[in-house]
């Protein structure tokens, strides 16, 4: 089932002296439960494309559909609500709330959605167990390693049962062991919860595990490899 579609998407940034065509006519689809990596050299448009897919930025032209909803047709408040209910984000810098515990960080989106306390508790416990942090639920980010913080970020991204998760260089700040553990966890959750994962990455470990590899150069898709 198709969950995401981009139609001739462009993103142009107007600098003081030059225009930058960061995304240049991208047309692509993603299916439910894909595990896809977007790769390419620095400046190829990977992060810009991920931000457009996630509704964090709007295209200069073209259309982006998530489950048939055109993001460009949503008002600002509608877009915020739509993102909260349909998209999970995992960032290179973790972006956890430092004053909250691991449990509270994972619960945060569900609290904004006004989910019942019982449902929030059950889902949070389930996810922190899944990422191997059942014994660190009451720890704040400062008491967790980088790998543990990123696992909390993954649990938080999955808390609201999104249609897909966007991960921007999620292993960039992790050692080899932590990165491998994180990727195995995400692949297991991808299979178990049928959530589409889309990575922006330079990391060959991510590329090796991906079931689909999309290569960008100068904002254009130059190859799209689906692996068995």
DSSP characters over 14-80: E-SS-EEEEEEEEEEEEETT-EEEEE-STTSSHHHHHHHHTTSS--SEEEEEETTEEGGGS-HHHHH
Q: What is the mean pLDDT of residues 154-183?
A: 88
Q: From CA 191, how far away is CA 2, in angstroms rounded?
A: 16
Q: What is the mean pLDDT of residues 155-167?
A: 91
Q: From CA 57, how far away is CA 101, in angstroms rounded?
A: 29
Is the predicted pLDDT of residue 153 greater than 80, yes or no? yes
Give the pLDDT band (50/70/90) at residue 166.
Answer: very high
* Mean of all residue pLDDT scores within the chain: 92
Assess contact for 150 and 177: CB atoms under 8 A. no
Q: Could you give the domains of the chain?
A: 2-226 (3.40.50.300)
Convert the pLDDT of each residue in 87-133 to its tens digit.
999 988 889 999 999 999 999 989 988 999 999 999 999 999 988 99
- Predicted confidence at residue 110, as pLDDT, reads 93
Q: What is the mean pLDDT of residues 157-185?
A: 88
Is the predicted pLDDT of residue 22 greater than 80, yes or no? yes
- Predicted confidence at residue 212, as pLDDT, reads 97
């Amino acid at each position: 089932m198709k969950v995401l579609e981009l139609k001739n998407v462009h993103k142009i940034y107007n600098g003081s002296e030059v225009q930058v065509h960061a995304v240049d006519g991208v047309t692509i689809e993603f299916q439910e439960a894909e595990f896809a990596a977007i790769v390419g050299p620095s400046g190829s448009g990977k992060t810009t494309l991920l931000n457009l897919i996630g509704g964090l930025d709007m295209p200069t032209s073209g259309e982006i559909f998530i489950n048939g909803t055109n993001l460009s047709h949503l008002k600002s408040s509608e877009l915020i609500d739509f993102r909260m209910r349909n998209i999970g984000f995992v960032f290179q810098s973790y972006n956890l709330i430092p004053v909250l515990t691991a449990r509270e960080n994972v619960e945060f989106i569900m609290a904004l959605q006004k989910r019942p306390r019982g449902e929030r508790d059950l889902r949070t416990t389930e996810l922190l167990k899944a990422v191997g942090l059942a014994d660190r639920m009451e720890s704040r980010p400062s008491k967790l390693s980088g790998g543990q913080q990123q696992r909390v970020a993954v649990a938080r991204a999955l808390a609201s049962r999104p249609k897909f998760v966007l991960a921007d260089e999620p292993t960039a700040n992790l050692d080899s062991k932590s990165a491998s553990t994180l990727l195995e966890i995400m692949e297991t959750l991808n299979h178990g919860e049928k959530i589409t994962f889309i990575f922006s990455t330079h990391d060959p470990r991510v590329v090796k595990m991906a079931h689909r590899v999309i290569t960008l150069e100068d904002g254009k898709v130059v190859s799209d490899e689906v692996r068995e």
